[in-house]
Amino acid sequence: MTLETEVEALRKVPLFHGIDETKLRLLAFISDRTEYPAGERLCSQGEEGDCAFIILAGDADVLVHTPEGEKKVAQVSENSIVGEIAILCDVPRTATLVAANNMDVLTVSKDDFLKLLKEFPDISLEVMRTLALRLERTTRDLADARRGAAGG
């Protein structure tokens, strides 16, 4: 497992889409590579988040609190980024992540990512563009949903 494979994985993450290769290498280098055996928690709902997880291998269950206890609502797998909102602003984790099988995860900490943004403003632009696109899509979805609701 080397930096190269990590860079490959990072490139597939939409948030880092427009960032050039050398900077992705730097991001990979300063991030921690962590293994999680099946059943270990990556993070818990409600706690302060300070990092994003990029799944290099394996799958994780997404659990949320319900009155009947924790309930699995989704599964995330290879090449997905989870908890990325936490590295941009202070919000509590909205769900719990538990490794479904043996996982290999790249952990990007908030401090490091912010340092990187400060160092290379063009990365900020790329991230902003991605977020704006996402916002636009969400807004449209919301509008569609409302229209649907009004019509229905």
Partner 1 sequence: MEKSLFSFIWKYSARQQIYILLVTVLSYPVVYVLLELPKLIVNDAVQGDNFPRSILGFDFDQVPYLLLLCFTFLGLVVVSNGLKFYLNVFKGRLGERMLRRLRFELFQRVLRFRLPHFRKVSSGEIIPMITSEVEDVGGFIGEAFALPAYQGGMLVVQIGFIFMQDPLLGLAAISSYPIQGYVIPYLQKRVVLLSRQRVRNIRVIADKVGESITGVAEIHANDAAAWHSADISERLYENFRIRYEIFNRKFLIKFLNNFMNQLTPFFFYLIGGYLVIEGNLSIGALLAVIAAYKDLAGPWKELLSYYQMTADVSVKYQTVVENFDPPDIHELDRLTSDEKAELSGDLKFDNVSFSGGAAGQEVMEISLTVAAGTACAIAGPDGSGRSEVLQLAAGLVSPSSGKICIGDHDLDKLTDSTLGREIAYVGGAVHVWTGTIRDNLYYGLRHRPLILPERDGEALKQYKRRVSEAKETRNPLYDLEAVWDDLEAAGADSIHTLDEKALELLEAVGLDKDIYRLGLQSRFDPSMDDTFAGKILNVRKNLADRILHEPALEGLVELWHPDRFNASANLADNLFFAVPSDPEITMDQVPEMEEVRAFLTETGLDEKLRKVGLKIAETMLELFSNVSGDSGLLGAYSFITQEEIPEFERIVRIAKSTQQRPGLSDADKSRLRGLAFKLVPARHRLGIMTDELRDEIIAARKRFLDSVVKHNPGFVAFDPDVYLPPLTIEDNLLFGRARVDRRDARRRIDDVIRTIVEETGLRRPIIYAGFGYHVGVSGSRLSAGQRRRIALVRGLLKNAKITILDDIATGTTEDDKALRRGLQEILSGKTFLFGTSNAEIAAEFDQRFVLDQGRISDKG
Contact positions vs partner 1 (CB under 8 A): 1-4, 6, 22, 25-26, 28-30, 32-37, 40, 42, 107, 112, 115-116, 118-120
Q: Which is nearer to partner 1, 28 or 62 (CB)?
A: 28
Phi, psi of 22 (to 5 degrees): -60, -35
- Shortest Å, Cβ 68 to partner 1: 26
Looking at the Cβ atoms of 86 and 149, the one nearer to partner 1 is 86
Cβ of residue 83: shortest distance to partner 1, in angstroms? Answer: 14
Query: How many CA atoms, within 13 angstroms, populate the side-chain half-sphere of residue 36?
Result: 26
Q: What is the dihedral of CA 98, 62, 51, 137, to 10 degrees?
A: 160
**What HEC string does 52-94 produce?**
EEEEEECCEEEEEEECCEEEEEEEECCCCEECHHHHCCCCECC
| Beta carbon nearer to partner 1, 4 or 141 | 4
Q: How far is the CB of 109 from partner 1 (least distance, A)?
A: 11
Rounded to the nearest whole angstrom, what is the least distance from the CB of residue 34 to partner 1 in the complex? 5
